[in-house]
Structure 1
Amino acid sequence: MKKIYQTILICLGVMGITSCSDFLDQKSPSEIDQSDLALKPVYIQQVMNNMYAGLTLDHTYGCRMPLNFSTNSDIELVDATKLEDFTNAEDRGASNYNPSTTWSRLDNNWQSMFKIIEGANVVIESVDQSPIMADKNNSDYNTLLHYKGEALTIRAMVYYDLIKTYGDIPMKFEPTKEDGSNLYLEKTDRDVIYERLLSDLETAAAALPWAGMDGYTTEHATKGFAHGLLARIALSYAGYSIRETAKEGYETMPGSDPSYPTQRPDAAKREELYKLALTHLDVIIKDGPHKLNPSFEDEWYRINQRTLDNQYYENLYEVAHGLGTSGEMGYTIGVRLNAKDTNSASWGYGNSSAKVQLTAPFFWSFDHKDLRRDITCANYTIEGNDKDTPDIEKMAGNKPFQLYVAKWDVRKMSEEWLKQNKNASAKKGYGINWVVMRYSDVLLMYAEVMNELFGPDAIGTATCGKTGRDALMEVHCRAFDTADQVNAQAYVNGISSADFFDAVVDERAWELAGEAVRKYDLIRWGLLSSKTQEMLDNYINVVKPNAPAKLYYNMRNDDPKSIDMSSVQWYATPANTGDYKKSSDFWGKDDSKLEVFTENISSGLNKTVINRHLLPLGSSVISDSKGKLNNSYGF
């Protein structure tokens, strides 16, 4: 029998189309021959579900892409605390732009991501070759059309994330041939791949249903995500990126590396890409079911609860993780749970790493009434002394580059998660979905594109009825209580045309921190280096001179183990410190150890090659490529 996909079907019970018990009664993809796959949609579905299962691995979207590879930026850092951390051969070095080609996770990521692409290629080819597709009246026609749309969209997402991480990569849009003739490929210019992805996503968007239709949830690629991903890729294509060689006709960023220039397409091409992005963002806003949850807090409560939002559909697509099986959201990122006895009395296994952290200048940048600040930034830990003593919340002290990301928080997680964690003796998959794109991102991309094409206040060619300022207003005002809406609206209305882009840059930070977006925004805008330096300068010149040396606060009357967040005096020493029962060192206190941070954060970005924001190919990827692949950018 001719084998077309040598892999074992992984059944995680989170894919949503078919139950695990149904999977067990069917053939694995390694047992399916060409004719079976083309004739029977259920077999194509098995390969597609295996493709989705590949997204849950630590080496793909369980950890690497959303967490390990998405820092550093001006607001997000990896938890490097010692001098040697900044140049080590693992994630801390890589996040600080000092990566090592011997870091095994590079090889594992590459292999795992291309395995997903292989699965997508099999699904797409099988649908195209199926006789069912010649008859639109066939009852399975739409099913196969949807499968192809999903595979095109997931393949585009994976290719896009590989390009963001490694730059130019091999272009492989067909299954591996039996003779292996298309197995060893050289790199293709990323813009050639981008053009193909944009075309594929046009096809996918036309083929797929909206979330909530035909049984499709946001754990599947749907029409909205295909449109949104197309816009995201178009904006990256239009933006800056470091190149292996200079491209004729492209604009070179001032101060660029002489050997490996950072470039973007010319003005005409950028306008074409902005218009393309606008077309697809406009469709989402005008025709889609997606809207903002009126409560930013509730949006993140639902995510922590592992509850799909079938009311607002704010999440356009989320990688589905299984409790006890996969997902490091809440563990590698989130409020730090630090139990000395390993198991905390309140929350069970309590040694979360919380490696993705935020900065004091980012915290300081929020409007004091912005509700997102305390839902995003945690300047505290949950401490457990032993398994019999209730945990207590404790302020972090003078650690301006080690704020935890509060969007993921054990105190918001489900009873099902808590039961698992109380019985755990080691880390288990938290099962919280990785949200790839939210509707607020769509609105902010729309605001950015409208401003670029027409300015902040013109409708231009948009059909949804919103100006760029309207879209920005919707996101910004959601973050404020009713009593503060007048001031929130006044802020947005007061932004001049000249300052509107900068306002979008700020809003995307406040809204999307910790969500693997900021680093890639700064890269495409050509602002990664300057914004990183601005953050460090703001710490030295703004935060440190103005922040109190001690932070005063109280614990809650109804729960003396929890901080009364409304009592915390973040911005100044109170006139009567006796009104507060608790205090902690804070950012205004002198600390010579902080020089380690200010001198070494993102230290590799311009050290060897200017703006070297990409990771190298792993050593095994190079050695296994039969001479087809090599590293560049001074690696």
Structure 2
Amino acid sequence: MKNILKSFAIVGISAIVLTSCSDFLDQTSPSEMTGEAVFNSTTYTQQALNKVYAGLTKDETYVQSVPIHFGMNSDIELVDGLGATNSNSNNERGTCNYNPQLSWSKLNNNWKGMYEAIENANIVVEGIEGSTLIAEGNAARNKMLMFKGEALTLRAMLYLDLIRTYGDVPMKFETTNTDGSNIYLGKTDRDIIMDRLITDLEEAIGYLPWAGTSGYTTEKMTKGFAHGLLARIAMTYAGYSIRESSKSGYENMPNCDATYPTQRPGTEKRRELYTLAVKHLDAIIASGYHKLNPSYESEWYLLNQLTLDQTYQENLYEVAHGVSFSGEMGYTIGVRINGKTTYYGAKGNSSGKVKVIAPFFWSFDKNDQRRDLTFANFDIREGDNGNTVETMQGNSPFGIYLAKWDPRKMTDKWLNAARASADKVATGINNVIMRYSDVLLLYAEALNELQGADAVGPTCGLSARKAFEEVRSRAFADAHKTEAISYVNSLSSGDEFFNALVDERAWEFAGEAIRKWDLIRWGLLSQKIEEAKAAYKELIKVAPKKLYYKMKADKPGEIDPESICWYEEPQVTTDYKSVTFWGSENEETGSNVVDNLPYISAGLNTPVINRHVFPIGATTISDSNGTLQNSYGF
């Protein structure tokens, strides 16, 4: 791919001036073209927009950094984390455990990659605003405005993730001046940035089509996602976040840091933001363009198969990836292939660094079908005669793999590429940014906060309780749906309903880089992490000492999931295999798991309380000409 951008190194922002246009989807544009010519052609404008999308397919943006490096740890997910070395090392293990090192190069890479994509979006927005094609009566006007809506929404998504990762960041909504006068920018209060993002999205919504119309799929920015993103920003804005200094009129989180307080807006502002969120979530629900797939399992199977759900369009937006090109889902996160196998290839193509934990497993209702689609308490290895064998894990209570991304469900295209390569092969599995279940649960949360669990939105006719019920009941087979509905109906408005939503969002979104941001905005991150550690100490008193299971009679290399005795040992164990289960002693190393609990997320409250943000990288700081500096004790 020919590089046709001219770059400036700035503030850690890598600013880009358009001299001609190319992207990973369409490489047929001329090698030299003026910006004016680009944006007076719908074809070349599309190519310029494609470059923004291409910026999301890099490791430093939405392949690794946003969903994995910065989206963990929470009370249910972690990236390794046991032992002092892992907690303090200069890599993703240290970062995810809130012990980031300023010298870690991926901090600088993320900053640069995010601002490069923002700059490309700025180029598109300004180019369209200056184009003759948007004149009233021009046949291309609507198409060009749709492109603008996409660029505005992409930029808003990028900025939200920068804010959630770093706190206050430079605000740059214009292209870089040729004289460099707007290169070195300091930080802007995140609330000012979010106000602008909300305004931009309100404009974008008017331009964008719904998914499934005008040739737009859920791999593109659409009206539904713009509504949902605006609501997500409003809910983030209304929630808690650590601040560089105290803000007047804001409320402190109890027991927050004296120097860097964790705060949220006052009551009136929060009501305004919740009301705004309900308005936009209601619009998605009322539209009918997005629905829950009746089968949770089917939705994840389609994702592993690289197939868009065009029947229900449950996923409002997915970052598009391609086999052998990009895609970390199924490698760093997912069912683990442990080493070389004949079937899956020499590399193994799986690291499984992202884990879920034993106390979270036991929190699920026994009949919740999401449990076994979330937890993979086994890995896949080479067996006899070149056959693969599913090998049950023993005492790994903080090392359970995620089952949502599963090589056994992935495409032949990926499998053939993995077999043919001695190196890592990108899975091509899309990174889902928002699902319709998130829309329903955010809607339930905001309505409950404003008026209670039985309040109804302005146009869709759905109550908060019914929205919650849709998500909960989908997770249960027909024989158990009544139990799920009764559970939701038993909840009182207010705190009880909210606390149930806190749990439900964990069960629904585990591993999807949502939980951490939820806990931060609720002011519950540290509390819930400590509760999970305490729950493990209680779990080892009651959990079976051995886990008994059988292999399938017709497929002896596969574990029979129906045979696993999760909750008690069988009376007769003759026909079962077993592994030592989630006790306090690790038989392989002799170490005491309880002794390692303090290392999990160890840096969250040291030296600053609730330091959930990450530092700006050392190279970014040194390149900023003195305009940027770190806070929060970094």
Smaller-chain TM-score bracket: over 0.9
Question: Which AA in structure 1 matches 2:423?
Answer: A
Classify the secondary structure of the residue corresponding to 2:627. Answer: coil
Question: Which AA in structure 1 matches 2:535?
Answer: N
Alignment-derived partner of residue 590 in structure 1:
585
Alignment-derived partner of residue 372 in structure 1:
370
In the alignment, does 2:77 pair up with 1:76? yes
Alignment-derived partner of residue 215 in structure 1:
215
Alignment-derived partner of residue 37 in structure 1:
38
1:2–1:33: 8 Å Cα contact kept in structure 2? Answer: no
Classify the secondary structure of the residue corresponding to 2:204. Answer: helix
Alignment-derived partner of residue 519 in structure 1:
516
Give 1:149 shift: 0.3
Classify the secondary structure of the residue corresponding to 1:24. Answer: coil
Q: 1:546-585 CA distances to partner (integer Å, 9 max, x unpaired)?
A: 110100010011111000011100111222222x320011
In the alignment, does 2:548 pair up with 1:536? no
1: distance between equivalents of 2:87 and 2:310?
43
1:335–1:381: 8 Å Cα contact kept in structure 2? Answer: yes
Alignment-derived partner of residue 106 in structure 1:
107
Alignment length, in residue pairs? Answer: 617
* Range moving further from structure 2, 345-354 or 245-254: 345-354
Give 1:99 shift: 0.6
2:19–2:35: 8 Å Cα contact kept in structure 1? Answer: no
1:241–1:523: 8 Å Cα contact kept in structure 2? Answer: yes
Classify the secondary structure of the residue corresponding to 1:145. Answer: helix
Assess, with a 3 A threshold, how the Cα gap between structure 1 residues 81 and 253 changes in structure 2: closer, same or farther: closer
Q: 1:409-455 CA distances to partner (integer Å, 9 max, x unpaired)?
A: 00110111111111121102111100000000000001101100110
Alignment-derived partner of residue 359 in structure 1:
357
Q: 1:12-48 CA distances to partner (integer Å, 9 max, x unpaired)?
A: 44xxxxxxxxx333125xx321321232222221111
Give 1:291 shift: 0.2
Alignment-derived partner of residue 451 in structure 1:
448
Assess, with a 3 A threshold, how the Cα gap between structure 1 residues 81 and 384 changes in structure 2: closer, same or farther: farther
Q: 1:501-545 CA distances to partner (integer Å, 9 max, x unpaired)?
A: 00100000000010000000000000000000000011102x211
2: distance between equivalents of 1:370 and 1:394?
24
* Range moving further from structure 2, 206-215 or 582-591: 582-591
User: Which of 543, 554, 572 is the matching residue for 2:550?
Assistant: 554
1: distance between equivalents of 2:19 and 2:623?
20
Give 1:343 shift: 3.8
1: distance between equivalents of 2:497 and 2:542?
27
Question: Which AA in structure 2 matches 1:618?
Answer: G
Classify the secondary structure of the residue corresponding to 2:57. Answer: coil
1:348–1:418: 8 Å Cα contact kept in structure 2? Answer: no
In the alignment, does 2:474 pair up with 1:478? yes
User: Which of 384, 409, 413 is the matching residue for 2:410?
Assistant: 413
User: Which of 22, 27, 39 is the matching residue for 1:24?
Assistant: 27
Classify the secondary structure of the residue corresponding to 2:348. Answer: strand
1:397–1:584: 8 Å Cα contact kept in structure 2? Answer: yes
1:2–1:34: 8 Å Cα contact kept in structure 2? Answer: no
Classify the secondary structure of the residue corresponding to 1:489. Answer: helix
1:27–1:43: 8 Å Cα contact kept in structure 2? Answer: no
User: Which of 13, 17, 32 is the matching residue for 1:5?
Assistant: 17
1:163–1:169: 8 Å Cα contact kept in structure 2? Answer: yes
Alignment-derived partner of residue 178 in structure 1:
178
Give the share of equivalent positions with the same residue, in percent: 55
2: distance between equivalents of 1:479 and 1:347?
35
Give 1:590 shift: 3.4
2: distance between equivalents of 1:211 and 1:374?
30
2:82–2:600: 8 Å Cα contact kept in structure 1? Answer: no
2: distance between equivalents of 1:117 and 1:604?
30
Give 1:53 shift: 0.4
Mapping for residues 8-157 of structure 1, pairs under 5 Å: 11-13=23-25, 23-28=26-31, 31-135=32-136, 137-157=137-157
1:556–1:563: 8 Å Cα contact kept in structure 2? Answer: yes
* Range moving further from structure 2, 415-424 or 389-398: 415-424
Give 1:495 shift: 1.6
1: distance between equivalents of 2:374 and 2:19?
40
2: distance between equivalents of 1:254 and 1:81?
28
2: distance between equivalents of 1:5 and 1:48?
14
Classify the secondary structure of the residue corresponding to 1:234. Answer: helix
List runs of 5+ in structure 2 lacking aligned partners: 7-15
Classify the secondary structure of the residue corresponding to 2:17. Answer: coil
Assess, with a 3 A threshold, how the Cα gap between structure 1 residues 82 and 2 changes in structure 2: closer, same or farther: closer
Alignment-derived partner of residue 12 in structure 2:
none
Classify the secondary structure of the residue corresponding to 1:5. Answer: strand
Mapping for residues 221-236 of structure 1, pairs under 5 Å: 221-236=221-236
Give 1:333 shift: 0.4
Q: 1:231-279 CA distances to partner (integer Å, 9 max, x unpaired)?
A: 0010000000000000011001110100000000000000000000000
Give 1:5 shift: 2.9
Alignment-derived partner of residue 18 in structure 1:
none
2:81–2:599: 8 Å Cα contact kept in structure 1? Answer: no
Question: Which AA in structure 2 matches 1:599?
Answer: P
Question: Which AA in structure 2 matches 1:540?
Answer: K
Question: Which AA in structure 2 matches 1:120?
Answer: A
1:469–1:492: 8 Å Cα contact kept in structure 2? Answer: yes
Alignment-derived partner of residue 203 in structure 2:
203
List runs of 5+ in structure 1 lacking aligned partners: 14-22
1: distance between equivalents of 2:596 and 2:479?
39
In the alignment, does 2:396 pair up with 1:391? no
Give 1:349 shift: 3.5
Q: 1:299-342 CA distances to partner (integer Å, 9 max, x unpaired)?
A: 00000000011110000000000110111100010011112xx2
Give 1:131 shift: 1.4
2:24–2:50: 8 Å Cα contact kept in structure 1? Answer: no
In the alignment, does 2:459 pair up with 1:463? yes
Q: 1:592-618 CA distances to partner (integer Å, 9 max, x unpaired)?
A: 431343121011100100000000000
Classify the secondary structure of the residue corresponding to 1:325. Answer: coil
Question: Which AA in structure 2 matches 1:585?
Answer: T
Assess, with a 3 A threshold, how the Cα gap between structure 1 residues 149 and 46 changes in structure 2: closer, same or farther: same
Q: Give the TM-score, by structure 1 length.
A: 0.95
Give 1:138 shift: 1.8
1: distance between equivalents of 2:350 and 2:344?
14
Question: Which AA in structure 2 matches 1:594?
Answer: V
Assess, with a 3 A threshold, how the Cα gap between structure 1 residues 158 and 596 changes in structure 2: closer, same or farther: farther
Give 1:288 shift: 3.9
In the alignment, does 2:611 pair up with 1:612? yes
In the alignment, does 2:537 pair up with 1:574? no
2:5–2:18: 8 Å Cα contact kept in structure 1? Answer: no
Give 1:344 shift: 3.6
Assess, with a 3 A threshold, how the Cα gap between structure 1 residues 351 and 429 changes in structure 2: closer, same or farther: closer
1:606–1:612: 8 Å Cα contact kept in structure 2? Answer: yes
2: distance between equivalents of 1:244 and 1:346?
49
Mapping for residues 283-322 of structure 1, pairs under 5 Å: 283-322=283-322
1:549–1:589: 8 Å Cα contact kept in structure 2? Answer: no
Classify the secondary structure of the residue corresponding to 1:551. Answer: strand
Give 1:162 shift: 0.4
Give 1:132 shift: 1.5
1: distance between equivalents of 2:55 and 2:455?
43
Q: Give the TM-score, by structure 2 length.
A: 0.95
Assess, with a 3 A threshold, how the Cα gap between structure 1 residues 407 and 7 changes in structure 2: closer, same or farther: farther
User: Runs of 4+ in structure 1 displaced over 4 angstroms?
Assistant: 1-4, 6-11
1:550–1:589: 8 Å Cα contact kept in structure 2? Answer: no
Assess, with a 3 A threshold, how the Cα gap between structure 1 residues 263 and 7 changes in structure 2: closer, same or farther: farther
1: distance between equivalents of 2:368 and 2:260?
41
Assess, with a 3 A threshold, how the Cα gap between structure 1 residues 419 and 479 changes in structure 2: closer, same or farther: same
2: distance between equivalents of 1:9 and 1:569?
58
